[in-house]
Amino acid sequence: MVEIGCGTGSVIRALHAVNFAHEYCCVDLSLSAVTFARDSCQAFAGRATVGRTDALPFSDGAFDMAFLSHVIEHLDDPISALAEAVRISSYIVVEVPTEKVFSNFLRTRVLGRPYPSIAGVGHVQFWSPSSIVAFLKRDAHLEVISRHQDLLDEQIDLGHSAHQSNRPLLKGVLRGVVPALVYSRLLTTHYTFLCRKSLA
């Protein structure tokens, strides 16, 4: 398997910990990230290399599985990245936050403030739970085989800065009383998709 946009290699380390694959490879645009991933994963990662998501340095069909975990929301051209992923791999896993939700509607349209993830982590693409599915199917020409929604537990929420200290409490209460379908329309959640190139 290959992780595209590997960052520090945390995903392939987690996958290796559960013996997900026989061979691991990772690629990132950042030389420092690749160096860190290579050093921290050298015991099991066969290759760690610098490369662009829209021009991956691998041959067609080189991998069984490609992972893009929190990558495409950072890209000006996510379609090219996904096209490259399905070129080199039989299946791809795509994980994204769904930020086009009611709380961010209030923030951006009513309060006139930008998405917090623009300045915070450099997001340039924003989807709702339904629009990401449409994007993957219609725009990226992928078949969605399976999907998983993560409502983000309190351990993740506690990673917010101190001035947002009431937010994890509020989200925890909502998680306990609001159905997941409703919650995902109110607040940011994460979706993970298993996809392959559409045969249609």
**According to the model, what pLDDT value does residue 160 have?**
46
Rounded Cα distance between 50 and 32, Å, is 9
**According to the model, what pLDDT value does residue 143 have?**
97
Q: Does residue 175 surpass a pLDDT of 80?
A: no
Q: pLDDT confidence of 70, banded at 50, 70, 90?
A: very high
Q: pLDDT confidence of 48, banded at 50, 70, 90?
A: very high
Tell me the average pLDDT across 17-23. Answer: 94
**According to the model, what pLDDT value does residue 168 have?**
67
Q: What angle do CA 152, 129, 197 make, to 5 degrees?
A: 110
Rounded Cα distance between 11 and 7, Å, is 9
**According to the model, what pLDDT value does residue 158 have?**
40
What is 121-181 written as a DSSP string? H-------HHHHHHIIIIIS-EEEEEEEEE---HHHHTTS-GGGTHHHHHHHHHHHHS-HH
Q: Which structure tokens are listed for 170?
A: 């509020």
CA 158, 179, 148, 127 dihedral sign is negative
Q: Which among 101, 112, 122, 92 is positioned nearest to 180, based on CA atoms?
A: 101
Q: pLDDT confidence of 172, banded at 50, 70, 90?
A: confident
Tell me the average pLDDT across 124-137. Answer: 96
Report the 3 state secondary structure along 29-50: CCHHHHHHHHHHCCCCEEEEEE
Q: pLDDT confidence of 26, banded at 50, 70, 90?
A: very high
Tell me the average pLDDT across 12-39. Answer: 95
Mean confidence (pLDDT) of the chain: 90
Using CA atoms, how far residue 179 sits from 24, 58, 158, 167, 183, in Å, is 37, 43, 22, 18, 6
**According to the model, what pLDDT value does residue 157 have?**
45
Q: Does residue 145 surpass a pLDDT of 60?
A: yes
| Region of residue 51 (left: phi > 0; alpha: psi -120 to 50; beta: else) | beta
**Structural domains of the chain ordered from first start:** 52-197 (3.40.50.150)
Alpha helices in 1-128 (DSSP H): 10-17, 31-40, 78-88, 102-105, 116-121
Q: Which structure tokens are listed for 47?
A: 């290759």
Tell me the average pLDDT across 38-59. Answer: 93
**According to the model, what pLDDT value does residue 174 have?**
78
